[in-house]
Structure 1
């Protein structure tokens, strides 16, 4: 990811392939703040009913918290190690261009791969459900946290999958119960998985020895899209994220 700091902003070393211009900072303490998760997950709260389940009486407090977060000079970065490389979740605080970027990088690669962008012009999804849970549960050291619930919620907005298993709602509810203060985690988990963000769920497939790809209209991992990753980059991304 390049140079980052522990809460003291310095110009970060550039990550090849990522155009972020901010000073990156590590703020793992944010993961212990329930208000952080409300803003981080808000793009998955589709409709007033689901939004009310997520925010409850904390809407104004969450809004104030995230105004402060987006006003920081440093861009908070969270890292999750995967089978080959690391996923980086970057809270982009550029003036007039606030959002969250989901990147995959390996030291041997010539560039980081942007898997998803969660903002007013959402691009993705970038992760299938098996890839999401594999990253959350691998227990690998060297990231922002080894807590599987935090990892699951960090990466959730980059996920979209029509084939989530029956146990997914229980798994997500447990993470919401552990990391947030929402009143009905089971009901909220079911609603979030039904809607799955701004573009909804997509289908994933593997043909022969090829990489895992999606059919999402806005996904970088759908080879039919004109902006998709090239064939060799699709292969290395799928290999790095392999469940």
Structure 2
């Protein structure tokens, strides 16, 4: 179930794009999940039409998941000709600019979420976003996830979400495949930094302090705190 209608952000500080359009009704459309999770054949007329609507329109669809401490995680369909994709952004009202958590496109960046962080965001029940449904939130944020130490219960958790929100014939088989491959970057190892916050070793991740494009230490700590289960 989606939450009550939400006004999309007029702008996301530090992020060029828009105008944004909030479309929570899409989270109740099984075709949306086929497109969002790259499950459908975009040569299919319906799936292809929806993909064109999401990434080729005059407005940029945006979905929001609230996090603790008044942080927000925005999932933005970047409807930019020649550079279309999906951006996962973390923002707080006190920040001058949002931080890019992950990018799902031809020049992918990530992962941005461990399994524990993914499920915490899905389950926090905080109002003010596009939906409070844990299944929808889990699938919405799943493309930003990468973790080489998923717990045994992850398989059933993801299977249940796929069963609830999509019409795929074999949700269990799909869940097993997604947990094994985990996007373009594959499973990534997470550790606790000296300051007590999570970092990873992904070569394409903003949360790997060894990467030249990683976030500053203070931001790594702040985002990890907002995502803490």
Q: TM bucket by the smaller chain?
A: over 0.9
* Partner of residue 129, structure 2: 143
In structure 2, the residue matched to 1:211 is 197
CA–CA separation in structure 2 for the residues paired with 1:119 and 1:55: 16
- How far off its partner does 1:207 sit? 3.2
Q: How many residues align?
A: 223
State the TM-score, normalizing by the size of structure 1.
0.87
CA distance in 2, matches of 1:58, 1:180: 18
Checking the alignment, whether the CA contact within 8 Å between 2:197 and 2:221 is kept in structure 1 is: yes
**Structure 1 residue 159 and structure 2 residue 156: aligned?**
no
Query: Does residue 70 in structure 1 map to residue 55 in structure 2?
Result: yes
- Residue in 1 that maps onto 2:169: 183
1:223 corresponds to which of 209, 212, 227: 209
Superposition CA RMSD, Å: 1.8
Aligned to 2:3: none
Give the direction of change, closer, same or farther, for the CA distance of 1:13–1:29 in structure 2 (3 Å limit).
closer
| Partner SS state of residue 144, structure 1 | coil
Q: Provide the rounded CA distance (Å) in 2 between the counterparts of 1:101 and 1:133.
A: 19
Q: Give distance in 1, aligned partners of 2:150 and 2:48.
A: 30
Please name the residue that 2:14 is paired with.
17
2:78 — aligned with what?
92
1:61 alignment partner in structure 2: 46
Query: What displacement does 1:239 show?
Result: 1.0
CA separation in 1, counterparts of 2:85 and 2:40?
A: 19
Residue 94 of structure 1: SS of its match in structure 2? coil
TM-score (norm 2): 0.92
Residue segments in structure 2 that go unaligned for 5+ positions in a row:
1-5
Shift, 1:71, TM fit: 2.2
Contact map agreement 1:28 1:78 (CA 8 A) in 2: yes
1:82 and 2:67 matched: yes
Residues 70-115 of structure 1: CA distance to partner in whole angstroms, max 9, x if unpaired?
2221111100011121110001101111110001111122221110
CA apart distance, 1:59: 4.2
Aligned-pair distance for 1:119? 0.3
Cα distance, 1:18 vs. partner? 1.6
Please give the residue correspondences for 1:113-124 in structure 2 after superposition, counting only pairs within 5 Å.
113-124=99-110
Aligned to 1:173: 159
Q: Give the distance between the partners of 1:124 and 1:79, measured in 2 at CA.
A: 19
